Amino acid sequence: MTVRPFKRAIGFVDWHTAVLASGAATRPGRQDTIAEKTLRHVERIVSDCLKTSAEGWKFEVRLRLYAGWHSGKTRTDYFHGIDKVIGTSLLSHKVCVKEDLNHPVML
């Protein structure tokens, strides 16, 4: 059996729409909980799409999140939620996901 290298994929995500689609916004809660639930939802969608279009391949998926990260000079709740999930205060608005189609893992 030949080991295939990872293919690269990039996803562009409207964060507000993803939060609504995930159902995370239906129950008020902590922003990090909402962010984590939303990221898992996005992972499932990306994984399902890649499974059907490129079965048997492994992927490195990079997500670029678009949202209102600041209101003036103040960081928004979206920013704080993602910041807590990613685990850094130097959020560059990029989230890297290592995706093998069976077990998505946040880097």
- Asked whether residue 67 is domain-assigned, the answer is yes
Classify burial at 85, counting beta carbons within 10 Å of its beta carbon; exposed 0-12, middle 13-18, buried 19 or more: buried
pLDDT of residue 56: 74
pLDDT of residue 47: 85
Higher pLDDT, 96 or 16: 16
- Tell me the pLDDT band of 96, cut-offs 50, 70 and 90: very low
Q: Look at the chain and report how many structural domains it folds into.
A: 1
**Domain residues for 12?**
7-106
Coil, helix or strand at residue 26: coil
- Asked whether residue 86 is domain-assigned, the answer is yes
- Asked whether residue 91 is domain-assigned, the answer is yes
Q: For the segment 23-60, what is each residue's pLDDT rounded down to a tens digit?
A: 887 777 788 888 888 988 998 898 888 888 877 777 88
Alpha carbons 94 and 92: distance in angstroms, whole number? 5
